[in-house]
Amino acid sequence: MDINGKRAIVFGGTSGIGLSATQMLSDKGAHVIALSRNPEKLENVPKNVTTIKMNVLDRDALEKFFQEEGEYDILVNSATGGARAVGPFLSMDLDGYKASFDKLWGYTNVVRYGTKYLKDNGNIVLVSGSPARKCRPGQIAISSVGGAVEAFARGIAPEIAPKRINIVSPGIIDTPMSPLQGKEREDYYKNTTNNNLIPRAGTPDEVATGIIFAIENEFITGTTIDIDGGWLIS
């Protein structure tokens, strides 16, 4: 797919991985709508980018948005849907575990209401995470949700063909989502990646290049693209 001149919709598009995707799509000449709960975070908005406040769990608002926008070419969703529970399952607050699945519900909402208006040669990219297939201690909620997202994409790919859907699965990525600062932040990323084959945190741009690949390559669908520093094989 030649991205230049295409219409792209990016949920979670004003921060972290989604912001990088927004910027790369914009740089390639797409007309981008970046949606998030806090669109004001995006400063110096390019002329070909529009920002909109949206919660992916608000199905009525999503349905109205897609109806008003009409046909488009590219759909990217990196929105988390909310907080995610961490820690051992047997001591985890089950409401927190359940709330972690807001990411899945946000993805299914967007795909449900957005696919109708996606052009037949268009495509969808969702973001999961390496714990979906290799769960480390304390990541059971993240792993469960990521696994469900990947199963959802593989299952729905035949249903929506010839429209395409793919997954980009990042490992540990240094994004604004982490509240840690200074040395504490540096130590966290060092400790959580020191066993990876590439022992550092990834960047949002490195993940966004995978999203762009999934968009431009018209011979993949139902596929998971791993950008994880060797997480799965270390």
Token pair 């969703």: residue: 77
What are the tokens at 158?
Answer: 């035949």
Over residues 168-184, mean pLDDT = 81
**All domains in the chain, ordered by first residue:** 7-233 (3.40.50.720)
Looking at residue 205, what is its pLDDT?
A: 97
Question: What's the CA gap between 36 and 77, in Å, rounded?
Answer: 10
> Closest Cα to residue 11, out of 36, 40, 46, 31?
36
- Helix axis angle for 140-160 and 102-114, nearest 10°, is 10
pLDDT at 41 over 90: no
The sheet with strand 164-170 has its strands ordered as: 49-53, 31-36, 7-11, 72-77, 118-127, 164-170, 224-227
| CA gap 228, 49 in Å, rounded | 29
Model confidence at 103, pLDDT cuts 50, 70, 90, reads very high
Residue 209 corresponds to which amino acid?
T
What pLDDT was estimated at residue 227?
97
pLDDT at 202: 93
pLDDT (0 to 100) of residue 83? 80
Return the pLDDT at 222. 97
The whole-angstrom separation of Cα 75 and Cα 11 is 8
pLDDT (tens digit, 9 = 90+) per residue, 185-226? 888 788 888 889 999 999 999 999 999 999 999 999 999 999
Q: pTM here?
A: 0.94
Q: Helix 102-114 crosses helix 59-69 at what angle (to 10 degrees)?
A: 30
- Coil/strand/helix, residue 133: coil
Enter the DSSP assignment of 197.
Answer: S
Segment holding 104, helix H or strand E? helix 102-114
Exposed, middle or buried by CB within 10 Å (0-12, 13-18, 19+), for 95? exposed
Task: Quick: pLDDT tens for 113-135.
Answer: 999 999 999 999 999 999 999 99
Please report the pLDDT score of residue 179 as a whole number: 67
Task: Report the chain's mean pLDDT, rounded to a whole number.
Answer: 94
User: Between 227 and 182, where is the model more confident?
Assistant: 227
Query: In terms of residues, how long is the chain?
Result: 234
Does position 177 have pLDDT exceeding 70, yes or no? no
pLDDT tens-place string over residues 71-102:
999 999 999 887 889 999 999 999 999 999 99
The Cα–Cα gap between 43 and 64 comes to 26
Residue spans of beta strands (DSSP E) within 54-163: 72-77, 118-127
Residue 96 contacts residue 86 (beta carbons within 8 Å)? no
* pLDDT per position as a tens digit, 134-170: 999 999 999 999 999 999 999 999 999 999 999 999 9
- Reduced to 3 states, what is the DSSP secondary structure of residue 52? strand
